[in-house]
Amino acid sequence: MHAQAVQPNPLVSYAISAVVIAVVFALRWRRMSRPTPLRLERLWIFPAVYAVVAVGLFVATPPIGWGWAFCAGALVFGAALGWQRGKLMRITIDPDTHALNQAGSPAALLFLLVLVVVRSGARAALSGDNALHLNALAVTDMLVALALGLFTATRVEMYLRAKRMLDEARRPAASG
């Protein structure tokens, strides 16, 4: 008996991916309107853990030649994207208790959706016959650097803005 391997239709895999992404974003959209406490002292934790992972990846398989420059460019680009994403996050302060709260904004969620679409497009461009002739490790290194810049800059922007808001709220009103 002779069996033939059937290749899945790429449109089906894109449709499944789109449905999964749509469900995840719909759930996030619903939860986004609920404010959650913002703890300034904890904003550094996720970027620090991710930085350790990124450094581990770069030590295990370091970029070669121009790969370092591309990774540095991806880090800067990710930081610029992260700064913009951080500016889109809503931060509120309770005037009585000075408790900080954060809530994702629809713009921040749409921003992430655009990043996912761009990433999917890049993945499609790299699949198949590797039409762009890019090294998969180099692309992975650049995505790791981009994510590090994104996560870090988002939290730095949020920290600076929340700290400024907290300082203004605690400052006594000028007597007049």
The 10s digit of each residue's pLDDT in 112-168 is 666 666 666 666 666 655 555 567 778 788 888 998 999 999 999 999 999 999 998
In the chain, what is the straight-line distance between the N-terminal and C-terminal CA atoms, in Å? 94
Are the C-beta atoms of residues 163 and 100 closer than 8 Å to each other? no
- Determine the pLDDT at residue 172: 75
For residue 2, the 8-state DSSP code is: -
Q: For the whole prediction, is pTM greater than 0.75?
A: no
- Determine the pLDDT at residue 73: 96
| Of 26 and 129, the one with more pLDDT | 26
The answer for residues whose C-beta is within 8 angstroms of residue 36's C-beta and 6 or more apart is 101, 102, 103
- Between CA 38 and CA 114 the distance in angstroms is 25
By three-state DSSP, how is residue 36 classified? strand
- The owner of tokens 């894109």 is 14
Is a pLDDT exceeding 80 seen at residue 74? yes
Is a pLDDT exceeding 60 seen at residue 55? yes
Structure tokens at 10: 């790429």
- Between CA 117 and CA 18 the distance in angstroms is 9
pLDDT confidence bin for 77, thresholds 50/70/90 = very high
